[in-house]
Every structure is written in C-alpha cells, then in structure tokens.
Amino acid sequence: MDSAEKQEIKRVFELQRSHRGAMRQKTAEQRKAMLARLLEAVKANKEEIIEAVRQDVRKPYREVEIAEYWGTVKSIEHNIANLEQWMAQIEVTSTLRPDASGRLMYEPKGVCLVLGPWNYPFMLTMVPLASAIAAGNCAIVKLSDLTEQTSRAAAKVIREAFDEKEVAIFEGDVDVATELLDQPFDHIFFTGSTRVGKIVMTAAAKHLASVTLELGGKSPTIIDEGYDLLEAAKKIAVGKFVNAGQTCIAPDYIFVKESQQDAFAKALEAVAKAGFFGEDGQLSKEKFAQIVNERNFNRIKHLVDDAIACGAEIVFGGQFDQADRTIHPTVLKNVTPDMAIMQEEIFGPVLPMMTYDSLEEVIEYVNERDKPLALYLFSTREDAISQVLNHTTSGNAAINDVVVHFSDLNLPFGGVNASGIGSYHGIYGFKAFSHEKGVLFA
C-alpha cells in the first residue's frame, strides 16, 4: 500500500478521534436515529447486497436473504427497540457505608475497528457495527479481502447512512487491515480465524485496546442414545450443510453410539438428499453453496483423502467437483482422533462421525482440546444434559438443535479462549462496545 493510502487511514482515524467526544453526548433518541439510517440504507439496497454476496461467494439466494439481510435487519431493529433500557444507569447499593450509593454507567469506548470474515460477509460486519453505534462509538469497518463486491455494497450502505466522522469503511486487502490495526483504536472487534485472531490481539496489545474476538474451531455434536435419530439428523444436516459447511458454528464432528452410527448416517443421507439435491438426483446449485476458493477446496479434499487413507469410510457423498468448486454433503465413519480431519476446523460440508461408549469419555475428549465455539447435545435425559453442560466449557451450547442459538438475541454469542474472547448480540453487543464505569456517591 502506498503512503497516500496510509495517510488516508490516519486522516479518517484522527477525524473520528476528534469526533468521539460529540458522539458520546448523543442521546438515546439520536443514536436510534443513526441506527434507523443504517436500517433504511440496508433495506434500500437489499437486492444489491444479496447480489454482491452471491457474486463473492456463490450460495443460494434464500440462504443469503435469511442470513445476510434478515440477520442484519433483525439485529438493528432489536437495538432500536431496546436501546433506551440498555442505556439506563443502574443504581447499586454500596458495601462501603449505608449512606453511600453506587451507579453503573455505560459509556462509549470511543473509536472502534470492526474487521469481518468472508463467510457471512455483510451480516458479520453490520451486526457488530450496529452494536458499536448503539453504544455511542465512532467506527471504522473493513470487510474481508475475499469479498470485494460485498465490500463495495457495504461501502454504499455506510456512505448513504453516515458521515465518515461517524462511521467509515475501507476496502482493500490485508495490508489495509494491517495499517488499520496500527492505529490506537479504543476497541477492536474481529471475526475470523483463530490464527488471525492472534495477530489482531498482538496489534491491540501495542495500544492496550480492548478486543472482542469471534473466532472458530471444532464444535462437537453429541447424540445421546434414545434421541430420535431422524429429528437430530434434520437439524444437523441444515446446520452442517448450509453455506456448504462454511459456518463458524456448524457441527464440526459427531459423537454417536456405535450401534446407532449406521442408522444415523442413513437418516442424514435422506435429509441431505431431500434438502440439497434436485429432482434429477443432482446436487442443486440453487440449494447448495460453493467452496469459497481453490485453497479451501484443496484443503478439505486433503482432509478427506487423508482420513480414507487412515481407515475412515465414506458413508455417503465424497464427490469433489474441482471445476465447479463444489463438494457434495459427505459423511465419514470409523474416524479416529489422530486423523488430520480431527485436528483442524473442517469448514466444509464434510461430517466425520466418531463412536463412544460413555458420556464421560466424550467429556474427556472435549476437555483435552481447545474450548469449542459451540457444543451441541441431542438428548432427552435431564441427567445427561446436566452432566455435559456442567463438565465442559464452550462459547455457547445448544440442546436438541444446532446453530440457531446465533439468532437468539437475548443470548450472548461468542467463544472462549481459542474460539474467542468476549461476546456480542443484543445487550451483550452493547456492553462489548461500552465501558462499564462504576461510580461511587459518597
């Protein structure tokens, strides 16, 4: 990047810095008006946004509409509906003296940076941006270098809704992100891989900026004996195969009882065929997404080839169309922990199954590894549910469903350690972008 581009980043950053004092004075009404401007711009550009995402990452129209458009709209509306209540100062009793009192004030962090990933490029940048605005911050946004068209559409939305001293966007490659990370932001909100999360946290440390890191990892899915296999398969197939498995909270692998492995795989196959294939029996481009690039296609293919070479078996799927960069929904059995496919986040439509004898064994397996972003359990037994929830750590957990917890705006969404730091959505997003100031009235 040349020095003029670097100067431009510095200029906008300084401009926002000088404006952050005015931003923090904005009332709930004024912040809501800013959110309403964002909402209006998103609605006005709906088709352009969807088309841009589909050009960057070929996926079904309906998938893009639900995740990118409605996901963003619902989140902005939720901020508008609840902002007043979130901003209200909270009185607390003082432990110091009976006549003293305490108060919690949520103040904006200041100037925030939002860096987004490619897999849901619009929503995963706009939802944190809405939280940043709700909390009274200035913000600079940068989408992934892999989603050029979406970046352009997001730039149009942002420029329609805001002055650059309030919210600005930079398009471009990783150099732009690196230059942005060099600025002394007050808070950095990053969604992406654990690898880049470490780069972001290192950059933040230089200025002691606070961070929210929304990262990835392997999300285990456990099927307890006695749970209806078809019910579980229906939910798991959607959560795993939507966006061709390129979802941070997709079930990464399955733990199932040996005696149920084949029946469960059969149920999955039936559900996948009904959901993602056309009447001609071919995988449907209208229903199933493409793998984002050649590198990821080859990476996933290598994971499957390696698993087979090490003794795993394909139950169904296993077709790789290199020219079209599509991978059929694939389920593997006889998978063992030492295989490469069990060492890294798969991020593709391949679901390995491992068998287990006792829940203790599953718990031990999960606890020996990085803390997952999400953990899923299908069970009707209260004691099994408590056992798993009480003995494992994960960013989120869902019982008898997968992925949909993301859309529950009353729950914090985030990871823990390797899968992330901090959380957002709803009030948790507001808090992520706020400093909680404790005030004593003596």
**143 neighbors 440 (Cβ within 8 angstroms):** no
**264 neighbors 233 (Cβ within 8 angstroms):** yes
Distance CA 39, CA 421 (A): 28
C-alpha neighbours within 13 Å on the C-beta side of residue 188: 31
Q: In 3D, which of 423, 381, 388 has the Cα closest to residue 220?
A: 388
Among candidate residues 248, 344, 360, 382, the one labeled active-site is 248
- Residue nearest to ligand NAD as judged by C-beta position: 216
CB of 352 to ligand NAD, least distance (A): 17
198 vs 437 by CB, closer to ligand NAD: 198
Tokens standing for residue 6: 């670097």
CB of 167 to ligand NAD, least distance (A): 17
> What is the sign, positive or negative, of the torsion defined by CA atoms of 83, 69, 125, 300?
positive
For the stretch 404-429, what's the b/e string if a residue is b when 16 or more beta carbons lie within 10 angstroms of its beta carbon?
ebbeebeebbbbbebbbbbbbbbbbb
Distance CA 342, CA 334 (A): 12
Which segments of 94-239 are extended strands (E)? Answer: 101-108, 111-115, 138-142, 167-169, 187-191, 210-214, 219-223
**132 neighbors 112 (Cβ within 8 angstroms):** yes
User: Would you tell me which residues interact with ligand NAD (CB under 6 A)?
Assistant: 115-119, 124, 144-145, 174, 177-178, 181, 191-193, 196, 199, 214-216, 248, 345, 347, 373, 415, 420
Among candidate residues 214, 225, 258, 279, the one labeled active-site is 214
Q: In 3D, which of 270, 327, 269, 336 has the Cα closest to residue 302?
A: 327
CB of 174 to ligand NAD, least distance (A): 4
Active site residue 214: yes
176 vs 265 by CB, closer to ligand NAD: 176
Tokens standing for residue 315: 């139950």
Q: In 3D, which of 89, 93, 419, 401 has the Cα closest to residue 222?
A: 401
Tokens standing for residue 111: 């100037």
193 vs 407 by CB, closer to ligand NAD: 193
CB of 434 to ligand NAD, least distance (A): 20
Q: In 3D, which of 121, 157, 126 has the Cα closest to residue 139?
A: 126
60 vs 414 by CB, closer to ligand NAD: 414
202 vs 319 by CB, closer to ligand NAD: 202
CB of 349 to ligand NAD, least distance (A): 15
CB of 136 to ligand NAD, least distance (A): 23
243 vs 387 by CB, closer to ligand NAD: 243
Q: Enumerate the active-site residues.
A: 214, 248
